[in-house]
Structure 1
Amino acid sequence: MIEVEVHQQLRAFLREQGEPYWAHHLTMARLVARALRLGRSALIQTGAPSGYHGRYRLSYLVPILMWQEPVILVATDSVQQRILRVEIPRLRQWISHPKPIQTSDRWIGCDYQGIVLTTPEAWLSDRLRGEGRFPAGIPTIIDGVDDLETWTRDHLTTHLHTPDWEALMLACPSHQEAIRDVRIQLTRSLFQHPANPYECYLIEQEERDLLYALQRTLHPIPRTPSPLPQPWKLFFERLPLKDELVWTTIERQSGQFSLHCAPVEIASALHPIWAQQPTVLIGGALDLEPEATIYRDRIGLQDDLTCLKFALDRQEDVIQLYQPEGIPMPNTPQFQAAMLGELRSLLTASTSVQGLSVILIGDTPLKAQVGSTLAAEFGSRVQVERTCLDDNGILIAGWEFWRQHQSVLPAPRVLAIATLPIPSLEHPLVAGRVAYYKQLRQDWFRLYLLPEALSELQRAVAPVRDWQGVVALLDSRVIHRTYGAQVLAALSPLARTSYLDSSLFSHAASNPWEN
């Protein structure tokens, strides 16, 4: 059987390399091989978020190289480059099967028996829009499904920018005056919204009515061929749907705005595609439970499939968690001063550790205030959301910045988290999604806010595990709220302390692979 052959080949390869490898390679490789043989879908959680750690990739590359039938591998461009330049050349020297590999946004041909590497954008576009570029029935591996919801929602989002208004006037020259009037009225209405840190706002009913009126003017006879440009056609089709979020982003300095429309939930869009081929979905930390029930609900993956979750190594992947007691709750006036005091103590105590220190703050005004305060005390070592850092620098960043740049920055020896990355209800898009869950009488915190926070948290701490470094969690809700146990479970394995001294940083002082 293919499982036995894969197990033997991979084990021999790992022994020959003589390097410290991921402990679950053989188990995962057998599971992928079994999925290929049986044509049965599988959902695998590797433990570490896939965007940062690629150590598991040998586990699916060996089976798809040895499998004698065609396979589609869906991965981002950066992952593809790693696979093609590093992983595949090493395996080619060991595995004798000369299976062809090509990178493409469509299937190569009906007789092709090799591997096609494609991007999530290309594959999702084909599956969601029925473009027919990839035939059904070919086993498909999707690497990095931690981001599957984001990929899908981005693909399904319709955008209307300033050039689209100009294109609309060119397409409907007899209605240029009406188009211009609606644009002026929208501009006046949208710029009356009070400023917020996100510079985005849900479209209100008055603004919807302006768009409805424009639609009736431009396309007065429903269910007839539309003369409108495709972005406008898609936007008007989705505007009245109840499960769509419609919002605007504005640029106050230039006086311009953009309109956006995206589905609140993506499960209904993704559900039909899982029946089209056996799919192995591989992610890092998708759900606290091995069956990943909440995650599967969110991506419409309800079919019978194999689910497996690997645990992190309790010795190699442990973090030192500093969790002080007595810090005020984040929504109190006393929190900022207490947090700054802890950050000062943390940075002072960690002077014995050479390397990057990172402070994660989700609140935009607070992030700037903390940056200014600490820069006055620690000098140019402190930088706010910059990638050019000293060897012993202090980076203050938001969650999104850290997620986007952590793969190119040094692994931090110290990571301080001011507050949990629970999406803020003050963000209009978050409020819109919460309103949708409330409308369905569903538990919006358990099904949306908490899973988002745990996923973000696990991604953020992943680099720290390379050095068994220190994570300081300054959000006292972990202590006082019932969901605190789930937060700690997401951070495990960990060694927890509420006492701060220099001995806490002894594990982070040297590379664990050098021991």
Structure 2
Amino acid sequence: MLEAYAHNYLKNLLKKNSFAWPHNLTLSRLISRSLRRKDRSFIQLETSDMKQSWPGVLVPLCLHSSEVVLVLTTSQRQRLLSFELPRLKLEGLHLSSWEGPMPPTGNQLWLLDHLEFFKAFCEGHLHSKQLIIPEAELLSSRLRDCMSIKVCANHWDSLRRAHPSAASALIKLHERLTRKLFAHATCVDGTVRMDFSETVVLMDLVAVLGHAPSPWPEVVAAIRHGWASWAELDHKLLDWCWNLKPLEPLKDLHIVFERNSLVLLSLTKQNDFFLKQLEPFVGSFDVKVKLGDEFCQHQEPIQLFAPRRQPLPNTEYFAEHLLDQCRRLILGRKGITIILLDDYQLLRQLTSELAAEFGKRVILESTSPETNGVICCQSFWWMNFQDQLPIPEQLILGILPFPSLELPLTAARVDAYKRQGQDWFRDLLLPELLNLLPRLIWPVRKHHGRIAILDGRLRSRSWGERVLQSLEPWTPLERLLPD
């Protein structure tokens, strides 16, 4: 049996190599079982780092990789090719892999990133494949990014050149949309949501014209499917780019998820929320497993400073409270401090006020801090650049990083939830926050730093308990004392 062979191989490896995660043997048996039975499995890994569980995933694939697709991010693929596979090769285990847009003709494991995965779906290359997808909790957002469409001035030009007879109508339509978008702009170089009523004329015109160059057929299909639609304005050039993204990308790919055997590996602790969002589009699972003990048994508790009776972010004195607490948290620190604040105007104000007191130590979204520097940034910037920064000593969350309703994509998703009569806060915004928080604090937790949350809603709202649970294990830091 595949399970027994994989178990024995990995057991021998574990005798020679002390892999950090103690549940790789069980994981290898689960992966082997799913590969052999071609079933549908959802495996929650009780670990904060996917790197620890690669041996349990890869050893079964060394024994059975035919018709298997592994969907990876760029960084995951780099680690796989440069570290994991050479490590297995030293132990006599060889895993042949295939990269490229066309499926392998042999028994190689097919490696795809999320954009390649979407293209393979569109071209019908995923039929009968077994899918293995790590970090499944991020699958929807990653697919949404690679499915997005961006229409700029050169695309309007190509449409006019393809249909000279309609050039005048297209110019007038573009000018009308331009005037309307800039009239509704609330800030320089901001974004303006485009409603269906603003694009229906364009959709009808493109339909009448017939064949149109890319990406116009995709744009028409996106509008018909109700994708989020917004414009990015450039006030300097008086120009704009049109963005479209799917609200629920899994819905567009539901056929491949419902018909194919698959293994989804998730690191999220919020399984109830995640599965509720996942199953309408992916279908039911034959196996649902939580693998490993609770997080608190494998991690040291992190110090959490979150005083009671803090003001709410919408109060007039919250900015003053934020400045005062950040000043106290920064004072005397010898290492790097990260301050996360997704309200960009308030972030710039806070950065300026802290710089007036602490000088060049304080920087705004820069990867070149001093040894005791203070980096003020938004959460998405921190997620993108945390690997390029020194290990922080503390992380300060000024406001809990809920998805902003000012973002057109979030607003469109919320509207869709409202139309369906769903609780858009507890079924959409709160789960996304709970999924994000452990990833934001992981570098600090791993190196035994501390975190502070200065948002008064954490203690005053009923859902605050869910947020505290997502941060487990932690120990309260009641007072700020010098080292």
Normalising TM by the smaller chain, what interval? over 0.9
Q: For the Cα contact (< 8 Å) 1:267–1:297, is it kept in 2?
A: no
Match of 1:385 among 365, 368, 388: 365
Does 2:202 match 1:203?
no
Aligned pairs for 1:178-257 (under 5 A) are 178-196=169-187, 199-204=190-195, 207-208=198-199, 212-220=200-208, 226-241=210-225, 243-257=226-240
The 1:290–1:9 alpha-carbon spacing in structure 2 relative to 1, beyond 3 Å, is: farther
Please tell me whether residue 57 in structure 1 is matched to residue 54 in structure 2: yes
Contact 2:115 2:147 in 1 (8 A): no
Correspondent of 2:104 among 91, 103, 108: 108
**What TM-score, normalized by structure 2, do the two folds share?**
0.93
The code of the aligned residue for 1:316 comes to Q
What residue identity is the alignment partner of 1:307?
K
What is aligned with 1:341?
A: 324
C-alpha change, 1:315 and 1:304, in structure 2 (3 Å) is closer
Q: What CA distance in whole angstroms lies between the structure 1 residues aligned with 2:30 and 2:326?
A: 45
Q: Structure 2: how far apart are the matches of 1:267 and 1:88?
A: 30
| CA-CA distance at 1:67 after TM superposition | 2.5
CA distance in 2, matches of 1:292, 1:423: 16
Q: Cα–Cα, structure 1 residues 443 and 217, in superposed 2: closer, same or farther, change >3 Å?
A: closer
Closer, same or farther in 2 for the Cα pair 1:55/1:410, shift >3 Å? farther
Instruction: Summarize the alignment of residues 323-334 of structure 1 with structure 2, pairs less than 5 Å apart.
Output: 323-334=306-317
Any idea what the Cα deviations from partners look like across 1:279-309, whole Å, max 9, x if unmatched?
1122321x513694224247x1222232233
Say how many residue pairs are matched: 481
SS at match of 1:57: helix
Give percent identity, aligned residues only: 29
Task: Report if the CA contact (8 A) 1:419-1:475 is conserved.
Answer: yes
Query: Which residue is 2:23 aligned to?
Result: 24
Does the 8 Å CA contact 1:29/1:62 hold for their aligned counterparts? yes
Kept in 1: contact 2:131–2:263 (CA 8 A): yes
- Return the alpha-carbon distance in structure 2 between the equivalents of residues 362 and 338 of structure 1: 17
Q: How far apart are the structure 2 equivalents of 1:356 and 1:283?
A: 30
For structure 2, the residue ranges without an aligned partner over 5 or more in a row are none
Partner of 1:507: none
| Contact persistence 2:114–2:146 (CA under 8 A) | no
Cα distance between partner residues in 1 of 2:170 and 2:444: 53
Q: More deviation in 367-376 or 25-34?
A: 25-34
2: CA distance between counterparts of 1:179 and 1:378? 55
- Distance in 2 (CA, whole Å) between partners of 1:282 and 1:315 is 19
Give how far 1:230 is off. 2.7
Aligned to 2:263: 280
8 Å contact from structure 1 (residues 325, 498) kept in 2:
no
Pairwise CA distance, 1:448: 0.7
Contact persistence 1:246–1:262 (CA under 8 A): yes
2-side partners of 1:182 and 1:382: how far apart?
A: 47
State the secondary structure of the residue aligned to 2:208. coil
Counterpart of 1:314? 297
| Letter of the structure 2 residue corresponding to residue 125 of structure 1 | K
Residues 15-67 of structure 1 deviation map (CA, whole Å, 9 limit, x = unaligned): 3124x6123222222211221122112222334555xx522222201111122
Given the superposition, is the C-alpha separation of residues 393 and 192 from structure 1 closer, same or farther in structure 2, using an over 3 Å criterion?
A: same
Distance 1:281 1:202 in 2: 34
Structure 2 residue identity aligned to 1:345 = R
The alpha carbon displacement at 1:248 in A equals 1.3
Superposed CA RMSD: 2.2
Per-residue CA deviations over 1:94-148 (Å, capped at 9, x if unaligned) read: 1x34442222222111xx1121212111112222x2x1334x2232211232321
Counterpart check, 1:164 vs 2:152: no
Letter matched to residue 208 of structure 2:
P
Whether the aligned pair in 1 keeps the contact of 2:140 and 2:248 (CA below 8 Å) is: no
Task: Read off the aligned partner of 2:387 and give its amino acid letter.
Answer: S
Alpha carbons of 1:424 and 1:214: their partners in 2 closer, same or farther (altered >3 Å)? closer
Q: Distance in 2 between matches of 1:389 and 1:165?
A: 43
Tell me, yes or no, if the aligned pair for 1:144 and 1:283 is still in contact at 8 Å: yes
Query: Is contact 1:339-1:418 (8 Å) kept?
Result: yes
TM-score, scaled to structure 1: 0.87
* Residues in 2 aligned to 1:240 and 1:297: alpha-carbon distance in whole angstroms: 24
On the 8 A contact 2:67/2:128 being kept in 1, the answer is no
Equivalent in the alignment of 1:370: 350
Partners of 2:351 and 2:330 in 1: CA distance: 13
For the residues of structure 1 that align with 2:447 and 2:205, how far apart are their CA atoms?
63
Residue in 1 aligned with 2:423?
Answer: 443
**In structure 2, what is the Cα distance between the partners aligned to 1:475 and 1:245?**
30
Q: Alpha carbons of 1:115 and 1:427: their partners in 2 closer, same or farther (altered >3 Å)?
A: closer
